[in-house]
Structure 1
Amino acid sequence: MSFFEEKLTKLNGMTVHTIKTDKYKTNTLVLKLLAPLKKETVTKRALLPYVLQRATARFPSTGQIRHHLDGLYGATLFADLTKKGENHIITLRMEVANENFLTEKTPLLEEAIKLMSDILLRPLLNGDAFDESIIKEEKRTLKQRIQAAYDDKMRYSNLRLVQEMCKDEPYALHVNGEMEDADALTAAELYEYYQRVLKEDKLDFYLIGDFCEETAGKMIQTHFTFAANSHAYPELEKQVSQKVEEKEVIEEEDVKQGKLNIGYRTNCTYKDEQYFALQVFNGIFGGFSHSKLFINVREKASLAYYAASRVESHKGLLMVMSGIEVGNFDRAVSIIKEQMGAMKAGDFTEEDLDQTKGMIRNQLLETIDTSFGLCEVLYQNAAANAGRTFDELLDGISQVTKEEVVAAASNIQLDTIYFLKGTGAESDG
């Protein structure tokens, strides 16, 4: 049984993904723009989507865009930023009611496609620059977003782990860029960068819902008229294999609870065959409430307020996050290392394996319950330049053996232990 069918067509270099399904009551439009993470562009890129969604030539103010969205039966529009591996990804997302359910036939889908194309291709300009007042406001908001990552100590400790672990790699860059770069950025510089984005970014447009594919395809073709260009998957700089040497970084801040974050290199990414086994490994190790970290660090030893792990599958990293009393540092590190050792030794049962595979399957099926979740699952392929279907993903997970999990575990290397402890607190490390 196939859960859905994804059709791909090329349009001026942009890849259009249509997923026709009657599962959702709305139609969802998602535009993804992918480019390599680079220090010189990261802040410009972090500002750009928020500037684009503020005003267009047709709707020159945020109020007018909001009013237009309200007129489309309360359609929604969001901008977002993420990084996957060494790539920086801009997301523009719209959700609009399906006109088939309306008594009066309003061309909602076409209006949504038209607005999405306006936002990308016809922004509000002042000569050869973006609108100065919008830039000023969005720079202030961007700086608040950057600051928020420093104020939230759980996020901050993860950010610091990545900065220490990936020091000379693009992945160390913060998704929202740098404060000082935001201050110096002009409306003209951002417009110049925007033109580069249209020429060089890998563009993927997702349309998910119940619509006539032929009609929708023609609408996209009509409204997304722009100069054809490569929009190819970017050639990333060849990453030099990192020399992995265990290092420890301890910092002090005014925090009540110590934040212990440990980073490992998995030597496996989304495209690799071992990806399925790595996902199952993570589920048993620290991904779920039945995992080794949760049971041994949090429950049995009562050392942590939380203890979990997650995989960054486009970069090949495994992160352990834990909140502990400062005095428990050594014991917590030691127990976490023991759990990794147990995984490498195959010290887990077939029952653990089956339970974890079932939970990953449920998690994936839950994710595709929303159209945006479905888009994120599908976009893994575009972001990794891979071609794995959702059915292959489920099959791959279900077929993982204990031996494969142990093999995946044996490739994992401890890289960095980062600990954020309270000012003046004595750790046992």
Structure 2
Amino acid sequence: MKLLTEQKHELNGLTLHTIPTTKYKTNTFILKLNAPLNEKTVTMRALLPYVLQSATESFPTTTQLRTYLDELYGATLQVDLTKKGDNHDITIRIDIANEKYLKDSTPLLQKALTLLGEILLKPATEEGAFLNDAMEKEKRSLRQRIQAVFDDKMRYANLRLVEEMCKEEPYSLHVNGRIDDIESITAATLYEYYQHVLKEDAIHLYVIGDFHEQEVKTTVEQAFDLPQRQPKEIKRSITKKEITDVNEVVEKQEVKQGKLNIGYRTNVVYGDRQYFALQVFNGIFGGFSHSKLFINVREKASLAYYAASRVESHKGLLMVMSGIDAKNYDQAVTIIKEQMEEMKNGSFTDSEIAQTKAVIHNQLLETVDTPRGLVEVMYHNELTGKSISVDEYLKQIDAVSKQEIVKVAENIQMDTVYFLTGKGGENNGEN
């Protein structure tokens, strides 16, 4: 694939990443704010981006702000929160039409970047705090987002596995914070926390599209006049842990289908030499539809409604997720353990390796086919201090040998088995 070039500029206390390309008819601006996961601030941080996107000094109501976006040829504004290892990331994104393709000469790039700067630095306030109405609305929405996880038992089982597995680690905190914290957050306390964010977060701004480099730099310098800053360094999040006893947790609720989730420590994170072998390992073990978990647990033994695995690239965790009937618990755990032993023994074929590499290729190329996906891939390097291009990533995947996959498998240790099951009686059917 053609390699996209990325230029970095340190401006006003943030890092500007420019990625010029004629591939898209839009220009995309993605702002990333990174801070360590922290029990005291996790819920405020989960609330903050939604309050920021609700109103600014120039557009003091949500309706006014959204009307202005519509006037900019239907520009879109979105916010998001993610956990990457023990880091808690806020993302604010604007997609806007490229004025080069329009008859109108409206300077859309300049207007959108200026708006993004205002969303970050000039939120609507009253008496030195956020607008109370906006706060209460977003607190209700956050409560609903957290509650939605408890109502979706597949997501809930993932949450509980992480809580049990990482009890003494920041990673145990949920990306949306804790429902019990919401009530005590006020417009004033959130605004105070926001001031800390501006001073201490690592801030990265990605600009992707067809633009003039100097125009972007000049506009960013004008629009992002940040206060005096002392950004905290982004820390790697791997927790080396020797497992002596596997933690088994059984939780009972009113559910029809049991959720069996198993967490492993891989002791490998993004940027490590063995990381690419871990990705191929996961594809063969449980990551794709041709994997051992899918075929042996779901298809052959008919034990699971779903069975898959995924890697947490910045924490060194491997998670197995499956939906089973309660009566099949012991058998399902046994077969999952057997698939892991097969990986450690090298009981997989060259054909499986080749198929997995091909799927990883396709998956990555699909991801970088969108501006958002491209930034997510590039941002891995900022979190790890590495510089791995998409082309280099694919070459490293291709170079993975069977011996390297086995070696990665040998170092993987089961940490926690979590089972969510019904209250009494055998569980049948889906939830």
Same fold (TM over 0.5): yes
Aligned residue in 2 for 1:268: 268
Structure 2 counterpart of 1:65: 65
- Structure 2 residue 338 is the aligned partner of structure 1 residue 331: no
Cα offset for 1:2? 4.0
- What amino acid sits opposite 2:362 in the alignment? N
Q: 1:238: Cα distance to partner?
A: 8.8
Whole-Å separation in 2 of the counterparts to 1:409 and 1:340:
8
Q: Are 1:381 and 2:381 matched, yes or no?
A: yes
Q: Could you give the per-residue CA deviations for residues 240-264 of structure 1, whole angstroms, max 9, x where no partner exists? A: 6464521211111111111110000
Q: What is the rounded CA distance, in whole Å, between the counterparts of 1:284 and 1:301 in structure 2?
A: 18
CA contact (8 A) 2:202 2:233 kept: yes
Task: Normalising by structure 2, report the TM-score.
Answer: 0.97
Match of 2:309 in 1: 309
Alpha carbons 2:56, 2:118 under 8 Å: kept? yes
Percent sequence identity over matched residues? 59
Residues 1:124 and 2:124 are matched in the alignment: yes
Structure 2 residue aligned with 1:18: 18
Provide the C-alpha distance between the structure 1 equivalents of 2:70 and 2:308, rounded to a whole number of angstroms: 41
Corresponding letter in the other structure for 2:335: I
Query: CA 1:237–1:258 in structure 2 vs 1: closer, same or farther (change >3 Å)?
Result: closer
Given residue 169 of structure 2, which amino acid in structure 1 is its aligned partner? Answer: E
Structure 1 window deviating more from structure 2 (195-204 vs 215-224): it is: 215-224
Equivalent-residue separation in structure 1 for 2:239 and 2:362 (angstroms) = 34
Moved more, 218-227 or 323-332: 218-227
Equivalent position SS for 2:194: helix
Q: What is aligned with 2:362? A: 362
Does structure 1 retain, via aligned residues, the 8 Å contact 2:49–2:79? yes
Query: What does residue 39 of structure 1 align with?
Result: 39
Q: Secondary structure at the match of 1:175?
A: coil
SS, match of residue 395 in structure 1: helix
Once structures 1 and 2 are overlaid, which stretch shifts more, 194-203 or 247-256?
247-256
Counterpart CA distance in 2 for 1:394 and 1:234 is 26
Equivalents in 1 of 2:187, 2:52: separation in Å? 12
Amino acid at match of 2:303: L
Alignment of 1:157-172 (within 5 A): 157-172=157-172
Quick one: which amino acid aligns to residue 184 of structure 1? S
Query: In 1, distance between residues paired with 2:290 and 2:356?
Result: 8
Task: Measure, in 1, the Cα distance between the counterparts of 2:252 and 2:364.
Answer: 38
* Residues in 1 aligned to 2:232 and 2:196: alpha-carbon distance in whole angstroms: 14
In the alignment, the residues of structure 2 paired with residue 248 and residue 99 of structure 1 have an alpha-carbon distance, to the nearest angstrom, of: 57
Answer yes or no: is the 8 Å Cα contact 1:36–1:236 preserved in 2.
no
- Which residue is equivalent to 2:289? 289
Distance (whole Å) between structure 2 residues aligned to residue 23 and residue 341 of structure 1: 45
The aligned counterpart of 1:90 is 90
Unaligned segments of structure 1, at least 5 residues = none
Aligned-CA RMSD value: 1.4
* Alignment partners' CA distance in 2, 1:234 and 1:182: 27
Matches of 2:246 and 2:9 in 1, distance apart? 46
- Aligned partner of 1:412 in structure 2 is 412
Whole-Å separation in 2 of the counterparts to 1:304 and 1:186: 45
Aligned residues: 427
Q: For the residues of structure 1 that align with 2:243 and 2:416, how far apart are their CA atoms?
A: 12
Structure 1 residues 227-236 or 153-162, which shifts more?
227-236
2:223 is matched by which residue type in structure 1? H
Q: Is this contact kept in 2: 1:85–1:314, CA < 8 A?
A: yes
Report if the CA contact (8 A) 1:13-1:232 is conserved: no
Where in structure 2 are the equivalents of 1:173-188 lying within 5 Å? 173-188=173-188
- Which stretches in structure 2 are left out of the alignment for 5+ residues? none
SS at match of 1:182: helix
Measure, in 1, the Cα distance between the counterparts of 2:214 and 2:146.
43
Q: Which moved more, 1:245-254 or 1:274-283?
A: 245-254
4+ residue stretches of structure 1 with deviation over 4 A?
A: 235-240
| Alpha-carbon distance between aligned partners in 1 of 2:239 and 2:299, rounded to the nearest angstrom | 39
Give per-residue Cα distances to partners, 1:59-88, cap 9 Å, x unaligned: 000001100000000000001101000000
> Structure 1 residues 226-235 or 384-393, which shifts more?
226-235
Q: State the shift of 1:180 in Å.
A: 1.6
1:118-172 Cα shifts (integer Å, max 9, x gaps): 0000001112211111111111111111100100000000100000100111000
> In the alignment, is residue 189 of structure 1 matched against residue 189 of structure 2?
yes
1:148-200 deviation line (CA, Å, top 9, x unaligned): 01000000001000001001110000111111211111111101100000000
Which amino acid is the alignment partner of residue 14 of structure 1?
L
Contact in 1 for aligned 2:238/2:316 (Cα 8 Å): no
8 Å CA contact retained: 1:57, 1:123: yes
